[in-house]
Chain A
Amino acid sequence: EDQVTQSPEALRLQEGESSSLNCSYTVSGLRGLFWYRQDPGKGPEFLFTLYSAGEEKEKERLKATLTKKESFLHITAPKPEDSATYLCAVQAMVIETSGSRLTFGEGTQLTVNP
């Protein structure tokens, strides 16, 4: 069974204080690892897809990295508008039907204080 564990559950930072969020996973046949941002009561907003160990992607103050067992979301000099819940998900394929499914972690709730 696919499993995704995110840590910490909650993180409070001061504006400009850089940090990292962790996502560890176990999945048979990883097809991709996804990071989403979710604001309260809204749908998850896509951030990054990583496909292979060693891959890195950046967008503004965010950088995602991937190893064989975990992924990190690094936040550099965060601003209050970066406050949100960050979700990690792994994609596994359903070989018999050529389907796919995402398994999500519980998320890290990030608060950035001005």
Chain B
Amino acid sequence: DSGVTQTPKHLITATGQRVTLRCSPRSGDLSVYWYQQSLDQGLQFLIQYYNGEERAKGNILERFSAQQFPDLHSELNLSSLELGDSALYFCASSVGFKETQYFGPGTRLLVL
């Protein structure tokens, strides 16, 4: 158990819908990262927040957005969902903005 929690574990929704994934970092960690893992693309970095501020961005689609709240939990919002958005979404956290990242158990999203 890494100490990073993610909810929900599974999510099934339809195309065009919007969902919110939630992540609570390890106690004391200030950075939160979001990754997408699909069968054909491996683990892809989406975005990093450090103490509420966006610090790094990967190939995150405009339909996706994230934020980190004052209590340091983070949410990833996915809108106008497409079939291709079906994937495992992982959250990771680290103490600062460059230390080892510890991953949560993931949210499996299925878009039908």
- Pick the contact of B42: A31, A94, A106 (CB < 8 A): A106
Q: Is the interface of A mostly helix, strand, loop or mixed?
A: strand
Q: Which residues of A contact B108 (CB under 8 A)?
A: 41
Closest 10 CB pairs of A and B: A99-B56, A99-B55, A43-B103, A104-B43, A94-B56, A44-B103, A101-B45, A100-B98, A97-B55, A101-B56
Q: Which residues of A contact B106 (CB under 8 A)?
A: 41-43
B interface residues with partner A (beta carbon < 8 Å): 2, 4, 33, 35, 42-45, 48, 50, 54-56, 58, 88, 90, 97-98, 100-106, 108
Q: Which residues of A contact B45 (CB under 8 A)?
A: 101-104
Q: Which residues of B contact A42 (CB under 8 A)?
A: 105-106
Please count the residue pairs between chain A and chain B whose beta carbons lie under 8 angstroms apart in the complex: 70
* B56 adjacent to A104 (CB under 8 Å): no
A interface residues with partner B (beta carbon < 8 Å): 31-32, 34, 36, 41-46, 49, 87, 89, 91, 93-94, 97-107
Given A44-B43, A105-B42: A93 in contact with B98 (beta carbons within 8 A): yes
Closest residue of chain B to A44 (Cβ to Cβ) is B103
* A31 adjacent to B98 (CB under 8 Å): yes
User: Roughly how many angstroms separate A106 CA and B37 CA in the complex, as a whole number?
Assistant: 10
- Pick the contact of A44: B48, B50, B90, B97 (CB < 8 A): B90
User: Roughly how many angstroms separate A91 CA and B92 CA in the complex, as a whole number?
Assistant: 14
* A43 adjacent to B105 (CB under 8 Å): yes
Name 11 interchain pairs, CB-CB below 8 A, sorted by A: A34-B100, A42-B105, A43-B90, A91-B98, A98-B50, A98-B55, A98-B97, A99-B55, A101-B45, A104-B44, A105-B42
